[in-house]
Amino acid sequence: MSRGRLIALMLLALVALLFLGRWTSVIVAEGWWARTISPAAGRLVGQSALLRFLLDFAGASLASAWFVGNLYVVYRAIGSVQVPRRVANLEIHEALTPRILVIGTVTAGVLLGLFAGLGVSRWWPQVLLSWHGVNYGLTDPVLENDIGLYVAQLPLWRRLHGFALLLVLLGLGTCFLLYFMVGHIRWSGRRPAVTDHARRHIGWLLAVVALVLAWGYWLEPYEMVAGLDGAMRSDVARVRVDVSLALTGVAFSTALLSAWWAMRPRHGWAAGGWTVLAISSLLGHYLIPALAGTPERAMVDADGLRKLERLSYGIPALEERSMNQVQGTGPPGPLALWTQEMVQDLGGGDSTVSVAANQGLLRVRGRRFPVWISVRVSKSDSAWLLVYADDRTSLAGAPLSYRAGDTVAYPGSVRFLELPRAVVRPHAPESVVTLDGTGVPIGSWPHRLVLAWARQAGALLTRQPDSARLAWHLDPLERFSSLMPHVTWSQPTAQLVNGDLFWFADGYVTSATFPLVGRAQWRERDVATIEVPFLAVVNAATGLTRFFRQPNVGPLGKAWQDIIGAAAESWDAVPPAIRTQLDYPEELFQVQTRVLERPHWLGSRLVGRSPTGGGRPLRPLTWNWADTSLRQVAAFETTGGRGISAVIQGTSGEAGTQLLLTRPGEGAPPRSPAVLTRAWERFATFEQLRDSLAQAGARDSASAVGLWMEPYGLGAYQTIFGVGPDLRRQVVWVNLALGDSLGAGRSVSEAWHNLLGNSAPLLSGSRTGRLGDAQQWMAIADSALRNGDWVTFGKAFEALREILEKEGD
């Protein structure tokens, strides 16, 4: 072997070693990390990595064997290959030796095999689900198969068919091109000419292509029932089944004719077979179904559709009640005054960014406070937690925030917790070396080498303390996805449990092949079934991650719960402090409300959504007065869009989730948000408010309309924010509606009294700036003094003195 070839082989071996070493180190390191979560999580990660490796190995091996075999057949037909070489001013042609041709053939086949086969590992969720199976106990009316066959088996069948079609078409195209290049296929006069060797090879390849096409035609009835090519009608279903069977037979006949052509040079037979197959495919897919589809009858009636969609979209039996229009004697309970957009701007500046902001509950000394939980990060990678009161503001309309362990809400943005660098949070560092016992032990030099190679962190190769550990996957969404990549996780929400920061996420599984139901949009793709079988919870400080099995899930969710096994704990293992913080899964609620728009359900359009899907919806969450828990809420509008015909609420409790349907009682329906907004804007004081804000260099920003349901029936409200310079945000106006009555004011209390007709909405005397904060603290101090709460009185007095000292500066 020449020196150049030896160097080339050594370089290739080095590159292969580097790729193999990197892959191995990542697998080993991920296994170490998963075992820090739990032994079951370690097994789950290891088994999924092994399955992906085996699938890729099998796919690449099968594809490589296919291409190497076909290219070797082509090589046998080649007498010699000459390559041009230039020596001085002369060009000579040098014939390649058979050994070089064989090496080239094998190399090209392996490369094609790697190209076609290395993506097979992406099928591993379909392989697991197909192996386990799903049983709904309900059959389709066309092929009379259990619905689980379409959900579990059909996706894998289609993957395998697509893979086979790729191999045969790529193999046929490559071999045809090579035969054409070496002259075994050419034009002779005005007709093609082919050698016997090339004819036999291409003939057998065409036979295999025809068999794969027959497989595809056989799958078409299953794809039709699964709704992969649109809604299925009873008038064309049986016709399309018969057409697919006929096309399967024609494809088999074409395969036999192609094989006969490979053995005997009967060119007309092969050409005729493929011509008939092409014409039959066009007629069977387009002309015949069009002629047969005159009366459009659905496969199932309205009751059958509702039954199927309860299974596919997890819509439970709706608890229905009548909507009362009762005039209340006091202002409504906790209303969500703030919005995510506004909270993200609170407590910030040019050097910080909000990485999470969501509603939650703060529990302190047996009391429950509706709050917004905000996590902010600075450019220096420091992070902190802010907790804002959601149902009230300072007298100036500014935000109120809580300190840890305190029931007093302080004006402004007071930090609730300082978060260490190794805390689990969005936008966390890629990896962090810690000394507090969290993460993977760095340990000996081989251990450090594996971790450094896997995480691409060269600093780990230096000497580290004996107690040093490496923590990574600190972003909660990345953490959950790394442990259960087959599950699609919701955006994690921050929650406070016993004063500690936790992250919650719902785990979704979907399928596009649930038969007979209409598709729904979810994350910019169509789904035919969606379930939430998993809940993920992680303690931000300790990194302790737990997965729980959601109750009341359908067959698809139960199948995945069985596949996951011990890596997900039972619902009974959810700690009570966590269970009381859970909300109805938001994305599931959005899909379900879109399904309820359909004619066989409510037949009404969601409020705020245009026919094209745009528009501004209601506030998605409302506070429940009875237990200060969050509810998902959506409303449906009457014909013409001027009133509300129904309200859907999603609640979460001890037994799981529930949907509550509320309809209006007798009389005119409640006015829609669009109508209410126009009525509120006609208040004379609203224009005065805008002028006042403009004079102060600020502008107004209206929130989406929200609803409250108890105890006074259906009410609506809207928050108007003043958005000023220097990122100042405050509530400057609140609009209320209940029945036919409207009200507005600087606070919920003022708007309520205006709604009752006891006062007029006034702008004069509004409390702003430090004066408003001082009055707020004066009221807190006065209340604490009357109640003998000297701790709160001292805090209020100190805050009041600080404000007055600043006023005098």
With 70 as the cut, is the pLDDT of residue 16 above it? no
Whole-prediction pTM value? Answer: 0.88
Tell me the C-alpha distance between 77 and 63, whole Å: 22
- Tokens 């107004």, located at residue: 700
Residues 539-593 have pLDDT tens digits of 999 899 999 999 989 999 999 999 999 999 999 999 998 988 888 999 999 999 9
Q: How far is CA 118 from the centre of its chain?
A: 25
With 70 as the cut, is the pLDDT of residue 663 above it? yes
Percent of the chain with pLDDT over 70: 87
- What pLDDT does 792 receive? 74
- Tokens 């992406």, located at residue: 122
Tokens standing for residue 157: 């069948």
Tokens standing for residue 685: 């004081």
Residues sharing a CB contact under 8 Å with residue 559, sequence separation 6 or more, in sequence order? 129, 132, 133, 134, 152
The neighbour count for residue 89, using CB atoms within 10 Å, is 5
CB 748, CB 735: distance < 8 Å: no
- DSSP classification of residue 317: P
Tell me the C-alpha distance between 790 and 613, whole Å: 55
- DSSP classification of residue 512: S
Residues sharing a CB contact under 8 Å with residue 109, sequence separation 6 or more, in sequence order? 64, 67, 68, 69, 70, 71, 72
Distances (CA, A) of 537 to 67, 503, 579: 48, 6, 11
Tell me the C-alpha distance between 141 and 133, whole Å: 20
Residues 76-90 have pLDDT tens digits of 777 544 445 554 455
- What pLDDT does 267 receive? 79
With 70 as the cut, is the pLDDT of residue 803 above it? no
Tell me the C-alpha distance between 363 and 373, whole Å: 13
- What pLDDT does 809 receive? 42
Residues sharing a CB contact under 8 Å with residue 726, sequence separation 6 or more, in sequence order? none
The residue-averaged pLDDT of 472-481 equals 94
The residue-averaged pLDDT of 641-651 equals 87
Confidence of residue 297 (pLDDT cuts 50, 70, 90): low
Low-confidence winner among 55-64, 82-91, 138-147 (lowest mean pLDDT): 82-91
Tell me the C-alpha distance between 352 and 386, whole Å: 13
Q: What's the residue count for the chain?
A: 809
Alpha helices in 492-581 (DSSP H): 555-564, 576-579
Q: Higher confidence at residue 695 or residue 299?
A: 695
Q: Higher confidence at residue 190 or residue 126?
A: 126
The residue-averaged pLDDT of 151-158 equals 96
With 50 as the cut, is the pLDDT of residue 612 above it? yes
Tokens standing for residue 806: 């600043």
Residues 507-524 have pLDDT tens digits of 999 999 999 898 999 998
Tell me the C-alpha distance between 490 and 521, whole Å: 16
Distances (CA, A) of 621 to 188, 447, 641: 76, 48, 22
- Tokens 């290219």, located at residue: 71
The residue-averaged pLDDT of 742-765 equals 80
The residue-averaged pLDDT of 784-795 equals 74
- What pLDDT does 96 receive? 45
Distances (CA, A) of 740 to 181, 638, 641: 84, 17, 17
- Interior CA angle at 804 toward 803 and 806, to 5°? 65
- DSSP classification of residue 397: S
Instruction: Return mean pLDDT, the chain.
Output: 84
Residues 708-736 have pLDDT tens digits of 876 667 889 999 999 887 657 899 999 99
Q: Is the CA virtual torsion 179, 183, 189, 193 positive or negative?
A: negative
Q: Residue 388: enclosing H or E segment and its boundaries?
A: strand 383-389
Tell me the C-alpha distance between 451 and 448, whole Å: 5
- What pLDDT does 772 receive? 60
Choose among 367, 328, 410, 457: nearest CA to 748: 328
Tell me the C-alpha distance between 787 and 406, whole Å: 16
- For the chain, the structural domain boundaries read 20-132, 136-299, 340-419, 431-472, 673-764, 771-807
Residues sharing a CB contact under 8 Å with residue 456, sequence separation 6 or more, in sequence order? none
Say if residue 460 is exposed, middle or buried (CB neighbours under 10 Å; 0-12, 13-18, 19+). Answer: buried
Tokens standing for residue 627: 């237990």
Tokens standing for residue 769: 């700036």
Tell me the C-alpha distance between 653 and 594, whole Å: 23
Q: Residue 194: enclosing H or E segment and its boundaries?
A: strand 191-194
